[in-house]
Structures are given as structure tokens and as C-alpha cells.
Amino acid sequence: MSGPTPELLPQSYKTDEHPIWCPGCGDFGVLDAVYKSLAGLQVQPKDLVVVSGIGCSGRTPGFVKSYGFHSLHGRVLPVALGVKLANPSLCVIGVGGDGDGFAIGGGHIPHAARRNPDMVYVIMDNSTYGLTKGQYSPTSPRGYQAGSTPYGNIEQPLNPLAMLIAYGATFVAQGYSGKPRELADVVTKAIEHKGFAFVNVISPCITFNNTYKVIPQKLKETPQDHDVTNRAKAFELALDTAHVQLGIFYQVSQPTFEEGAAEVIQKAQASGPPRLEEIFSEFS
Ligand SMILES: Cc1ncc(C[n+]2csc(CCOP(=O)(O)OP(=O)(O)O)c2C)c(N)n1
């Protein structure tokens, strides 16, 4: 016998705004997975904030029935951290593209990772700048030919998973937009994780970097016996660039930023406001 019908279904999170992404864009799969995870966890729209930067992925807050913030290019993480600090009871999901997150926004990642706020950061990694018509991005492969690299990209791509493990993120995973059900499971675990959860999603750009044929041949599930607390093994999986490994690479428990901040506030309030006479006396 089936249980009671859940109050919120995946479609409950759809807004009246229809995505204007190109038909076949991988980002539809990511959005679908996010809807599924939210419904699975019965996250109330009033308790949810979706923060984005700029790019095709930047449109996401408009498509999720929740609070939302379409911020500046590369500024997803500081905005999301501010939201979480202002109200730690909120479920905060940051979304961005590989250009938004790893190029202009790259300087924010190590600090978000080491601070460990309890929030999710989903990257829709299409290895190109989709919105601005296909310039190469930090995850474009060598040789990638686009408007900005007509003779082929000469740079080595960065490795988002190895980078996040190195920076101290407490949850690092990868999904594929062509497998939205499996991706939803990963996003669910990311939301459930208490701390900074990074999910890199391979999300092909059908117009400027159509990898739909090559990616499925490279997909591989992380081994069933993989110990997610083993950082060295997590690096090994992340460095397997011959495959696109799907699943959780690394997950450990660490105190969160907002817990630390609450303690500091409590200590500061317990010691009372600073005595102005004492401060002034230092200068007299
Ligand atoms: C400060 C600033 N610089 C440049 C831009 C132009 N711009 C808009 S989107 C974008 C690239 C986005 O690429 P990515 O994050 O990979 O997102 P996608 O469109 O592929 O989802 C750029 C450079 C901007 N909006 N603001």
C-alpha cells in the first residue's frame, strides 16, 4: 500500500516562467533533478533560497518557486553565504556556470570551501560560456575551438573536483544532466549534508559545445566500495580524467561557519558592549 501523497511534488516548484534555454540544453536536466530533490525532501518554498550569478545557469532562480537572488557575475558564493548567515534556518542553493564559478568567481571558492557554510553549490559545467556565445572557459579541453579560440584552446583545463577536495570542501560530488534521476539522488545527499556541498554537473551546451555523444562513453560510477572519507582516494577518482566519474567523491563532517559565527556572537554579547571610557583612556 502506498503512503499519503506528499504535499509537494517536483512540479510544485515550477514557476510560471518557462526556461528560454535552447531545446536540448543540459541545464533542463539539472533543473529537473533539483525539483525532484526538493520534492523528495519536502523543502518548503518559504525555507528555500536559490542564488545565481550570470550566464545561462544564472536564470535558474526564476524557474524555482522559492526566494531567489540573481546576483552579479561570479558572486554566487558570497551572496549565498550572506543569506545563510542572516538566517541559518534557510536551505540555500547556489547555482552557477563553469565560467561564472571558476573564472571570474574562482577566488571565492577556496574561502567558501574552508569556511564550510551549510549550503549547496551546483555548477552546470558545459565547458563553455553559453550565454555569451561560446567563448572557451576554464574547463574547456585543450584544442576546444570557439569564437574566442579559432585555432584551438591552448590552456590546460582545471579540475573542479580535485580543486574542491584540495580546498577542503566537506562534500564533493559529480553528476550528469543526462541522468537526472541519479543526479537528483546526489543533489538530495548534498542538501542533506551539513556543510559546504559541491556538485559539479556535466551539462552539455547543445549549441556551442555539444558533448552529448562523447560524455556517455566516458561515464563511470564511483566504485561501490569507495570510502568517501578517504581524501587520497577521492583525489585519485578526481584525477581520472579518462572517465567522467559520477557519484560522491568525498564527504566528511566539520563544524559549519554559521555555528562558529553564532558562538562568536554569543561570546561577544556575554562580555557586554565595549567600555568607551577605557578605549578613550588609551589615547589620553
Ligand atoms: C562583470 C561581467 N563580465 C562579463 C560579463 C559577460 N558575461 C555574461 S555571461 C558570461 C559567461 C558565463 O559563462 P558560464 O558561467 O560558463 O555560463 P553559461 O552561460 O555557460 O551557463 C559572461 C562572460 C558580465 N555579465 N559581467
Q: Assess whether the C-beta atom of 160 lies below 6 angstroms from ligand 1.
A: no
Question: Would the CB of 122 count as within 6 Å of ligand 1?
Answer: no
C-alpha 263 to ligand 1 mean position (Å):
38
Number of the ligand 1 atom closest to the C-alpha atom of 205: 20
Report the SS3 class of residue 34: helix
pLDDT on residue 2:
61
54 Cα to the center of ligand 1, angstroms:
5
| CA of 97, closest atom in ligand 1 | 15
Q: What is the block-wise mean pLDDT of the chain (284 residues), using blocks of 10 residues?
A: 78 96 98 98 98 98 98 98 98 98 98 98 98 97 94 98 98 98 98 98 98 97 97 98 97 98 93 84 87
Q: Quick one: pLDDT at residue 178? A: 97
User: Would strands 244-251 and 67-70 be described as parallel, antiparallel, or unpaired?
Assistant: unpaired
Closest CA to 70 of 94, 87, 86: 94
Q: Is the dihedral of CA 193, 198, 204, 208 positive or negative?
A: positive
| Alpha-helical segments (H) within the chain | 27-41, 76-86, 98, 109-115, 160-167, 180-192, 215-218, 231-238, 257-270, 276-281
- Closest ligand 1 atom number to CA of residue 103: 15
Burial of 248 (0-12, 13-18, 19+ CB in 10 A): buried
pTM beyond 0.85: the answer is yes
| Res 5: pLDDT | 72
